Structure 1
């Protein structure tokens, strides 16, 4: 420090502060939102601190200063967090005989209320599904209020709730569904559905989840003052507390399932959260296994938000994973992954 200029001393002080904040962020997935609701909101911006640490690293590298070791240490400690935020290399293995494809997509009621000024949105979504022709499709925010038929799927499970406006979820499958059900989430319009699909001689449990929304508009153009900022933070903190209870219900339900599991859908939370860690458990994140880039799943103007996921059982191999962020027919983007069951049911 003695050999640093006054400006570099200031920069290093900021570097230390960012490093401390990053370390705090690393512990947040282990802290329950019900106990630390406001701190849980910090998980949404943890990637910014990782990026700032990277900027500091290059700054000290250019000057060949030993202060670089602080950023190196922080980034090495957070390597698993970096992989959840950005993947430099993806995976695309050759097509095999025993594989299948799964698509997860929050369709926002097929644009029922014309959020997007295009009356052909339902047809465009159908054409997208027809083009990629996945074996299993999980829709969140599904609506029956359209004339779209997915006739290539002989098996389906659809739920709807509400009075005037019915919304729900749907699982479409080319494989026979031998069991199905729903997990009702207390005091919430959101829900979880599941279906046991029979592929060959093996049964796979597929969950489609839609957790409590944090109610952030994808397009924020209005001025946000201090009072509004506090309101938004408190709203997010409240949603994360509700999501904790919802994730615990899902985890309890999954613990009773011995067959290979796939969990997909809109979690409305980041990959650095307690809720992500709780639901994922010992499953693999398909994006981390086979994706590339930021994996942005929500059409938010100022930040690459990944809040939609596909988690797969260790007995299921991820052969490829794609996020179609150029397909803008909802506020979410569709996810498609190629999977292969590597071990038979026990």
Structure 2
């Protein structure tokens, strides 16, 4: 430290603070959000921490300062997190007639309230589904109030669970294969829920979960955050972080309900849905368990699933059991007909 300029001393202090925050973000997926709900927010920006650590490492490396060791160690410890954020290559596996394709998509009530100023959003979604032709389609925020515009005739089997009086909303599973059993998993004191369907694929039964966890309610254009940064509105910033913290606690409860439910299933599992949280979170780690994250197995790039203005957020997932082979994974960053983006995977039961 003595041989550092005043600027480098300040830079190294910031480097130390960043290191502490990064280590906390590494540990938080293993700790229940109810213990440290406020700190759990750090898991949302762990990729940013990794990028900043890489910049610090390069800064010290160029000067050949031993301070580079600090960020170097942080990056080395975080190497297992990189695949969750960015995949450098995708799989190229031969397809088969026995494969089946699963798509998951939060359609935001099929634009019922015209969030997107276009009249043909529902029709575009219908055309997109028909064009990609998945065998199993899991939809979150489905609305029977708007479904007249999206008649999915290619699916003879469906499990649809709605709630609400005037406007019916909920989750839906559409399938080309027979559904032999279905059910709904209620979440306490929440408008969110999960559903499941046991689907006969050839000789096998596969359980498909379609889940929608508590939202943290940050708009895609992050206007709330931007306004608070510009206006330095401390009170409103505290309200936002409190709201996110409360959402994380609810997500933990919901995730644990799903974890308990799936323990009783003896069939191969596929879990789809909008988890409203990052791949570095406690709820992701809990729900995924020993399943495969299809993006990690066969995706490419950032795998963005939320139309967030400044950040390639991945909060929608498809998990598959280890008795399945993940042959491909696709996200659709240019198909903006909701605040979420669809994801699709090709699977084969081994």
TM range (shorter): over 0.9
Give me the whole-angstrom Cα distance separating, in 2, the residues matched to 1:67 and 1:338. Answer: 45
Please give the secondary structure, in 2, of the residue aligned with 1:236: helix
Give me the whole-angstrom Cα distance separating, in 1, the residues matched to 2:223 and 2:187. Answer: 33
1:141-180 Cα offsets, whole Å, 9 max, x none, are 0011232211111111111101112101111111111111
Q: Where does residue 321 of structure 1 map in the other structure?
A: 329
Larger mean Cα displacement after TM superposition, 220-229 or 39-48: 220-229
Question: 1:5 offset after TM fit, Å?
Answer: 3.0
Q: Where does residue 194 of structure 2 map in the other structure?
A: 192
1:173-225 Cα offsets, whole Å, 9 max, x none, are 11111111110111111110101111110111000000111111112336211
1:271-294 Cα offsets, whole Å, 9 max, x none, are 111111111111111111111111
1:16-45 Cα offsets, whole Å, 9 max, x none, are 221121111110011111121111122112
**Correspondence 1:338 to 2:346:** yes
Give me the whole-angstrom Cα distance separating, in 2, the residues matched to 1:70 and 1:113. Answer: 50
From 155, 161, 164, give the equivalent of 2:163.
Answer: 161
**Correspondence 1:127 to 2:127:** yes
Question: 1:4 offset after TM fit, Å?
Answer: 3.2
Contact 2:21–2:42 (CA<8 Å) still a contact in 1? no
1:280-295 → structure 2 map (5 Å cutoff): 280-295=288-303
From 231, 235, 239, give the equivalent of 1:231.
Answer: 239
Question: 1:7 offset after TM fit, Å?
Answer: 2.4
Contact 2:111–2:338 (CA<8 Å) still a contact in 1? yes
Q: Where does residue 220 of structure 1 map in the other structure?
A: 222
1:241-284 Cα offsets, whole Å, 9 max, x none, are 01111111100000001111011100011111111111111111
Give me the whole-angstrom Cα distance separating, in 2, the residues matched to 1:88 and 1:175. Answer: 34
Q: Where does residue 173 of structure 2 map in the other structure?
A: 171
Unaligned runs of 5+ in 1: none
Question: 1:6 offset after TM fit, Å?
Answer: 3.1
Matched positions, count: 342
**Correspondence 1:117 to 2:117:** yes
The TM-score normalised by the length of structure 1 is 0.96
RMSD: 1.3
Give me the whole-angstrom Cα distance separating, in 1, the residues matched to 2:8 and 2:160. Answer: 60
Q: Where does residue 270 of structure 1 map in the other structure?
A: 278
From 145, 162, 180, give the equivalent of 2:182.
Answer: 180
Q: Where does residue 207 of structure 1 map in the other structure?
A: 209
Q: Where does residue 68 of structure 2 map in the other structure?
A: 68
1:98-133 Cα offsets, whole Å, 9 max, x none, are 211100000001000101011101110000001110
Please give the secondary structure, in 1, of the residue aligned with 2:140: strand
Give me the whole-angstrom Cα distance separating, in 2, the residues matched to 1:257 and 1:317. Answer: 19
Question: 1:2 offset after TM fit, Å?
Answer: 4.1
1:287-315 Cα offsets, whole Å, 9 max, x none, are 11111111111111122211111111111
Give me the whole-angstrom Cα distance separating, in 1, the residues matched to 2:152 and 2:290. Answer: 33
Please give the secondary structure, in 1, of the residue aligned with 2:26: helix
Contact 2:90–2:299 (CA<8 Å) still a contact in 1? yes
Please give the secondary structure, in 2, of the residue aligned with 1:24: helix
Q: Where does residue 4 of structure 1 map in the other structure?
A: 4
Give me the whole-angstrom Cα distance separating, in 2, the residues matched to 1:101 and 1:236. Answer: 34
Question: 1:93 offset after TM fit, Å?
Answer: 1.6
Please give the secondary structure, in 1, of the residue aligned with 2:38: helix
Q: Where does residue 57 of structure 2 map in the other structure?
A: 57
Give me the whole-angstrom Cα distance separating, in 1, the residues matched to 2:97 and 2:58. Answer: 46
Unaligned runs of 5+ in 2: none
Contact 2:208–2:271 (CA<8 Å) still a contact in 1? yes
